[in-house]
Structure 1
Amino acid sequence: MGENEEFAASLEDSKAAYVLSNVAEVVERILTFVPTKSLLRIVSVCRLWRNCARRVLRTQQQLTWVSACGPSNTEAHVLCSILAEEVEKVFLVPRTVLTLVDYEGFTGRAFCYKQNKAKKNRHSPDTVEELNLLFPKGCDIMGITTPGVVLTPSGSYSSLPREYQEGEAGFAIMFPSIEGVHIKPFHFCKKSISPTALKEAGLVDNPELRVVLIFVYEAYKTGGVHFLSQILEPLAKSKALIAGGLVESVFSPPRHCCSQGSFGVVGLALSGPKVQGASVLLDQEVSNPKAAEAAIQRLKAAKIPERNTLGFMFACVGRGQNYYHNQANVEADAFHKVFPNTPLFGLFGNGEIGCDRIVKEDYTLCDTDTDSLQHEYTTVMTLVHLG
């Protein structure tokens, strides 16, 4: 390199250094392309970068997710084996995380800690501890296992969702702090459920409650039916959208209040003026692809925006490929056809909770009672918009 070229290069370097040290607009624009974990480390560079990074963090209000399927290359479950690496790449600060994995693949195979055969069928405390380490302190993490999983591959809102009734699969949806949206996790067992507890969780006497995602575990145990009615009865009287299913187990947060194997419920209460919800019920009469698409098409009546909207599919283990005469992915394909830019997540479970309902301002599509919220051999297809 000649003398003139060296001088020109040094001049360009000095100009770049000046801009990156003094021009907030340029620095802030550049930092929008930096993943959040790196952004949090950048705040220590200088005052300008710290202020720019904080402004960028405040604008990161679009939810994201990590999903995985197929046999793992490690001893860990396929989702757990990639989650630590993928969390480094996200562009938000997670405040609430909903994690769902298949029961058979996950049992005894969470992260890469060593386990002997005696522990094969138990969730080690290390599972929860290592999961907590991946996310910021104070982040609420809900971990659920189910017989089957519905997920959208990581990376694009328009990716084709897939139904996994067999094999390893799982997802982790990460919700940031969003203005006008309040997400509150809840957990009840027979020892902790009460009218006061329901009120404290924001499930009753809460005029801003819009959506409740609810997951019941060990519901087949003696007393489980009555317990489920205790929580669904007050919810059925609200104008909120209620949707979920009966799952295998819950591994996070730890359930210190109830004994091993007892029934209970976990979920997310979504409140706030910017939350919208809608759901339709695909009953036993919906038994071919055309009928499934027609049922899902009714969700269009909600007129929910595409941005920051998720689809949830809560299906019976009796549906899926066998129900549709050996046609795979029927309901997920139908959803994608109607909502091509909305990611879909969910489960195949032991029962479904929900009904036809659209919640928009003071309007609901239908009123319902406790009994009509509980179903078998159906699918509850749901849209949730978060502002």
Structure 2
Amino acid sequence: MAEQQPHSAVDEENVNSSDSETPPENSRRCVQLQLPDHTAAYYDRTELTRATEPITCDSNLVENVCSNYIIVKNILSHLPWQEKLLCKHVCSTWNSAIHALKKEQLNPADFVIDLQLSAIKNGIKFIKSSNFPTEPLVVFTFLNTAAMEFTSKCMSLLPHPCNPPCEKEHSMLDWVQQEVCAPKNCMLIVRASHLSYLPLLKSPTFGKSITYDLMFRGLYPTISGLYIPTIPDVKYQVINIKSNSDLEKAFYYEVREESKDNIFKGVIVYVTEKYLLHSVEDFHYLNYFREVQPDIPYALGGCIVEDSIYDKNDIKLNIDCVNTGDYFVSENLISIGIFSVPKSIINTEGEKCSFDMYSLVIESTDWHKTKIQKVINEFANRVPQFEHSVVLKLSCVGRDKRHEMEQSYFRAAFPNTPLIGCYGNGEIGINHPARLVVEEPPSRKRQRRDPAPQLGIVYSYSTVFVYIGWGKITSS
């Protein structure tokens, strides 16, 4: 497999790498995508006047169709969530239909951009397992270093992000943001050397699964992601730490305020390599979740990655760096994604959309395949399986061939759960529910070199699974 360069798939003769300033708009090789006019007008609350010719049709038929709740709901169910934002203001019938669809269309979706050489020659496709029918709660996006600065001509991107296609190039990150999230800012992007991606077997994206062997055989640019829709009664927020002083100003204050009215269900932590791991004390701040919520367990998973991006402005800065030939690195030290539910819904009667999160740490001592399978099966037997679910896999590269084994066993235990994640340089996690403690006789046979000590929530040579489930419980 040929290795691809982490820049454009087209001619780069217009790039002046020695220019440290942002070039003029007309000389830029890569331009940022803009929202469609009608979406931008709605988002900015401005009036939009367009020269359009009305379609001539029977007014009585239009009235009957547009006022029939069942017909309207069926038609609107096929629209992307951005269009639903506008349609809900048409009339009370449409508004009711869209609110009903928001509670019904709760399926997750995964997506991938195939940047292998064969795909580039035939057009770069944005492949998704299903549509994004509901406003996203969060979009987890993973990419390797080669994909960070990858751009391509608008005409080569399928579907074309511009209508009609423009003559400029676009960033792959910007394209993902436009296809899935825009105008909402809810995408947490992680850059890591190697990725994990295992869609469901019958999914349109399954053929683009990223295996351990494939990833290490050729470092071609790779982007994959996971969309989680807005779930009733579930809140998601991100705390970005850009300096040590932000821990006191942002982290402790936000967690303390959030804990007053909400219960934490799960925490996802991405620590960038700029935040060096000197000792376990560097992560003592994560114990604050346990301090404000001592009697209620929660899931925790994370790892040390190359970089993380949450702000849309970082995508613009990345595009500017592409045009000037500079290498982009965000200022983020730590990105923390927090899932919570209101305390008011606990112990209340009535039909609610259930939601919960669980986490499993497969430690460095869990090295033999029978032990790995046993640990995963025990976890699967102790947590409920939901109608809708996803799992994040955050693992150490040093576990070698056990990556495929772990994914295979997890898929067997959770056959309807798409998996995505990355390989880091240190793992963070807790076992929720707590793992069963079984004393085993010592073995004289050395399976691998002695692991580093496991201290608190920080691990090495380990794998952390974070299972996120919502909707009806199918088995328990």
TM-score by length of structure 1 reads 0.73
Counterpart amino acid of residue 293 in structure 1: Q
Give percent identity, aligned residues only. Answer: 16
Structure 2 residue 104 is the aligned partner of structure 1 residue 59 = yes
| Equivalent position of 2:301 in the other structure | 243
Higher mean C-alpha deviation, range 204-213 or range 331-340? 204-213
| Equivalent position of 2:282 in the other structure | 228
Residues 25/315 of structure 1: CA separation in 2 closer, same or farther (3 Å cut): same
| Equivalent position of 1:90 in the other structure | 132
User: Could you give the per-residue CA deviations for residues 68-122 of structure 1, whole angstroms, max 9, x where no partner exists?
Assistant: 45615349xx9xx544x7599322222422211122x213215658xxxxxxxxx
Candidates 192, 196, 214, aligned match of 1:146: 192
Higher mean C-alpha deviation, range 196-205 or range 210-219? 196-205
User: Could you give the per-residue CA deviations for residues 116-147 of structure 1, whole angstroms, max 9, x where no partner exists?
Assistant: xxxxxxxx996665554442323322111112
Candidates 349, 372, 385, aligned match of 2:456: 372
**Are the equivalent residues in 2 in contact too, given 1:219–1:228 (CA < 8 A)?**
no
Residues 268/106 of structure 1: CA separation in 2 closer, same or farther (3 Å cut): same
Candidates 143, 147, 164, aligned match of 1:101: 143
| Equivalent position of 2:265 in the other structure | 210
Q: Distance in 2 between matches of 1:32 and 1:205?
A: 34
**Are the equivalent residues in 2 in contact too, given 1:218–1:261 (CA < 8 A)?**
no
Q: Distance in 2 between matches of 1:384 and 1:20?
A: 39
**Are the equivalent residues in 1 in contact too, given 2:128–2:204 (CA < 8 A)?**
no
Q: Distance in 1 between matches of 2:258 and 2:63?
A: 56
Higher mean C-alpha deviation, range 147-156 or range 311-320? 147-156
Q: Structure 1 residue 190: deviation in Å?
A: 2.5
Q: Distance in 2 between matches of 1:69 and 1:126?
A: 14
Residues 39/374 of structure 1: CA separation in 2 closer, same or farther (3 Å cut): same
| Equivalent position of 1:189 in the other structure | 242
**Are the equivalent residues in 1 in contact too, given 2:137–2:231 (CA < 8 A)?**
no
Q: Distance in 1 between matches of 2:128 and 2:379?
A: 32
**Are the equivalent residues in 2 in contact too, given 1:36–1:88 (CA < 8 A)?**
no
Q: Helix, strand or coil: the match of 1:61?
A: coil
Q: How does 1:60-139 map to 2 (within 5 A)?
A: 60-69=105-114, 71=116, 73-74=119-120, 81-83=124-126, 86=128, 89-103=131-145, 105-110=146-151, 112=153, 131-134=176-179, 135-139=181-185
Q: Structure 1 residue 252: deviation in Å?
A: 3.5
Counterpart amino acid of residue 111 in structure 2: V
The count of residues paired between Structure 1 and Structure 2 equals 343
Candidates 260, 265, 269, aligned match of 2:338: 269
Higher mean C-alpha deviation, range 348-357 or range 59-68? 59-68
In structure 2, the gaps of 5 or more residues are: 1-57, 155-168, 318-327, 347-353, 437-453, 472-476
TM-score by length of structure 2 reads 0.61
User: Could you give the per-residue CA deviations for residues 277-335 of structure 1, whole angstroms, max 9, x where no partner exists?
Assistant: 222222223234332221111212443232222112111011132xx4xxx72111110
| Equivalent position of 1:29 in the other structure | 74
User: Could you give the per-residue CA deviations for residues 6-60 of structure 1, whole angstroms, max 9, x where no partner exists?
Assistant: xxxxxxx999767524422233234334444555566688775565345424533
Q: Distance in 1 between matches of 2:206 and 2:386?
A: 14
**Are the equivalent residues in 2 in contact too, given 1:150–1:344 (CA < 8 A)?**
yes
Candidates 417, 436, 448, aligned match of 1:342: 417
**RMSD of aligned residue pairs (Cα, Å):** 4.0
Q: Distance in 2 between matches of 1:44 and 1:196?
A: 39
Q: Distance in 1 between matches of 2:82 and 2:137?
A: 14
Residues 331/16 of structure 1: CA separation in 2 closer, same or farther (3 Å cut): farther
Candidates 163, 170, 174, aligned match of 2:211: 163
**Are the equivalent residues in 2 in contact too, given 1:283–1:378 (CA < 8 A)?**
yes
Q: Distance in 2 between matches of 1:33 and 1:127?
A: 25
